[in-house]
């Protein structure tokens, strides 16, 4: 965090503060959009194919466990 602060202080002294501020604002917006997209995707219910795949995977794992016990 100190590094970002020092970068801002240097940029302000050299007259480049506006461009650094703009870049940080864009970065902040991109991070916010990515987080919001992730949250939206997590909030969506699973599709039918995801449910069937999950059940199939669980069934296969259970079958593998049973065959290991038999040996």
Helices assigned H by DSSP within the chain: 2-14, 17-43, 48-70
**49, pLDDT greater than 90:** yes
Predicted confidence at residue 2, as pLDDT, reads 59
Number of domains composing the chain: 1
Selection from 4-8, 17-21, 42-46 with the highest mean pLDDT: 42-46
State which residues form the domain around 21.
2-70
**21, pLDDT greater than 70:** yes
């Amino acid at each position: 965090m100190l590094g970002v602060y020092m970068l801002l202080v240097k940029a302000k002294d050299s007259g480049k503060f506006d461009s650094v501020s703009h870049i940080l604002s864009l970065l902040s917006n991109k991070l916010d959009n990515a987080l919001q997209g992730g949250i939206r995707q997590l909030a969506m219910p699973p599709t039918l194919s995801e449910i069937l795949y999950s059940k199939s995977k669980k069934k296969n794992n259970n079958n593998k466990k049973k065959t290991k016990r038999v040996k």
